[in-house]
Structure 1
């Protein structure tokens, strides 16, 4: 029996939006995130990212899109443990074939954006959870992506660190970055400008956020 994780979803996210995706377990939000992130292709319908038709892309093309157009931020940070912060940030640019000089200059710039330039040579075990997530955000920015996808980016952080991370996302969005995040925390979603609620594979609501306490 075929099970549809998403059913007839129509969704348009504009450039420079700051969007949160919410919903109970099994609602389809993770599948939606995987489709947006080009980790999965829709079995029917169409998905276009920054002018590229993802549905007809080859595996190689999808890999290139993920590397060049999407910055990923994960709940568990996914940093290389034996590698310094700046080397972690350089990694996507290494895969993209950029020169050593370009990688180093861009990585320093991205770490400065998230307030960690003074920690660039520290390894993950020498950083707090909030600092590790800031390194992960800097890494997501390294190839100047069209969109940043954050999957439960504050899930492993305390309240103070969560506020710091959301403040950074807000600053990045104000600077022109498109950001989409999945969260189960209403107080985190309240930091975004638009909240999309999934249930049973469908969009149950899609509305503008009015700020803290609006969810």
Structure 2
């Protein structure tokens, strides 16, 4: 599904060039559940931005579903983001004065679905994440865990093949974080590919594969099998 070859990203700050990614190579198959780890400044967020078609690499190749992302126009990238990728963020990114239902409907407005279809899908998604009784609540009436479940429902409504989650448990207590991880596991068991950035080792251990970044490079790529980590050559 995802094929990364010699991916490099360099940012210019005046006359200073900062390299965030250095010739990264990585393949992710359909249906995988991959955790991305690394300290601040390791390149993991830059990597996720490129995977999510929010940024472009300076050099190298990113192939998504057999299509070269670098050759796409901005409009084509926006279409890929809307149709193929669901985003879940640490800060939830919900509209504060808008109900859970309307927040979840938002991506479908950009996809130009009818209001009837938007409402139907949004209600189904909220019910799926266990919030069928909170559809008319605004974010300030919800707990952190409930807000993140609304965000997950929003990420699901266009039936994406990939969910990108950036520190999705970072603002949650342990119980809520584990509940959110349970939803991701359920999604993955239904065939959705999930790529999750975290700095929490216990969260990474709940994924099926952990890729560790340091100084813009992948220093470890390992399968999670029980509590053991088996390196992939």
TM-score normalized by structure 1? 0.97
Q: Secondary structure at the match of 1:176?
A: coil
Matched residues in 1 for 2:227 and 2:189: separation?
Answer: 17
Instruction: Give the superposition deviation at 1:64.
Output: 1.1
Instruction: Give the superposition deviation at 1:210.
Output: 2.5
Query: Deviations for 1:93-114, whole angstroms, at most 9, x for unmatched residues?
Result: 0011011111111111111111
Over aligned residue pairs, what C-alpha RMSD do you find? 1.3
- The 5 A counterparts of 1:165-184 are 165-184=180-199
2:4 is matched with none
Number of equivalent positions: 215
- Whether 1:88 and 2:97 are equivalent positions in the alignment is no
Corresponding residue to 2:52 among 23, 26, 37: 37
* Consecutive aligned runs of 4 or more in structure 1 exceeding 6 Å deviation: none
Corresponding residue to 1:26 among 41, 62, 66: 41
Contact 2:105 / 2:154 at 8 angstroms: preserved in 1?
yes
Structure 1: segments with no counterpart, 5+ residues: none
2:171 is matched with 156
Query: Deviations for 1:140-168, whole angstroms, at most 9, x for unmatched residues?
Result: 00111120000000000000000100001
- The 5 A counterparts of 1:195-210 are 195-210=210-225
Instruction: Give the superposition deviation at 1:43.
Output: 1.2
Compare the two structures and name the one with the higher strand fraction: 2
Deviates more, 1:52-61 or 1:84-93: 52-61
Matched residues in 1 for 2:141 and 2:67: separation?
Answer: 40
Instruction: Give the superposition deviation at 1:3.
Output: 2.3
Compare the two structures and name the one with the higher helix fraction: 1
1:125 is matched with 140
Q: 1:121 to 1:213 in 2, by over 3 A?
A: farther
Contact 2:35 / 2:196 at 8 angstroms: preserved in 1?
yes
Matched residues in 2 for 1:51 and 1:101: separation?
Answer: 34
Instruction: Give the superposition deviation at 1:213.
Output: 7.9
2:75 is matched with 60
1:102 is matched with 117
Structure 2: segments with no counterpart, 5+ residues: 1-15
Contact 1:82 / 1:124 at 8 angstroms: preserved in 2?
yes
- Of structures 1 and 2, the one with the larger relative CO (CA 8 A, separation 6+) is 1
Q: Secondary structure at the match of 2:182?
A: helix
TM-score normalized by structure 2? 0.89
